């Protein structure tokens, strides 16, 4: 009986530390590897940086197009912008202009 009692006492004494160490290991692993862990957070930061770069590029492109379109409005008709678009649409050039031919795959617009 003494052997059984000793084993039972040791199991009772060892169970709480093993249980809590297992619990700590589980939460530690999930804190680094889980769906909301450090690796996932790093990946989300990289995606956020790419999205912010794309947003900045889109805003710059929108600003460029807004500036070009504003030159063609009725109240502020810019002669240079109008001349540029007319020549591009009609495929014409002024005799004093220098024409640089583009290949079929290297279109300007």
* Of the candidates 81, 63, 62, the residue with the CA atom closest to the CA atom of residue 71: 81
Token pair 């059984």: residue? 4
CB 72 within 8 A of CB 85: yes
Q: Which one has a higher pLDDT value, 92 or 54?
A: 54
Decide if pLDDT at 76 tops 80: no
8-67: pLDDT as tens digits: 888 888 999 999 999 999 999 888 888 888 888 999 999 999 999 999 999 999 999 888
Instruction: Look up residue 49 and give its two tokens.
Output: 């940086």
Question: Exposed e or buried b for every residue in 47-74, given b needs 16+ CB within 10 A?
Answer: eeeeeeeeeeeeeeeeeeeeeeeebeee
Decide if pLDDT at 5 tops 70: yes
pLDDT at site 44? 93
Instruction: Look up residue 30 and give its two tokens.
Output: 């999930």
Q: Which one has a higher pLDDT value, 63 or 102?
A: 63
pLDDT at site 46? 96
| pTM for this model (two decimals) | 0.50
Task: Say how far apart CA 103 and CA 109 lie, in whole Å.
Answer: 12
Q: Which one has a higher pLDDT value, 77 or 45?
A: 45
Residues in the chain: 109
């Amino acid at each position: 009986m003494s052997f059984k009692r000793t084993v039972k006492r040791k199991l009772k004494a060892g169970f709480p530390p093993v249980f809590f160490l297992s619990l700590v290991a589980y939460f530690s692993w999930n804190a680094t590897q889980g769906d909301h862990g450090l690796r996932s957070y790093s990946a989300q930061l990289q995606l956020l940086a790419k999205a912010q770069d794309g947003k900045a590029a889109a805003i710059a492109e929108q600003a460029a197009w807004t500036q070009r379109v504003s030159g063609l409005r009725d109240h502020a008709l810019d002669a240079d912008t109008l001349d540029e678009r007319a020549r591009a649409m009609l495929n014409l050039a002024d005799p004093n202009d220098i024409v640089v031919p583009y290949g079929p795959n290297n279109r300007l617009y």
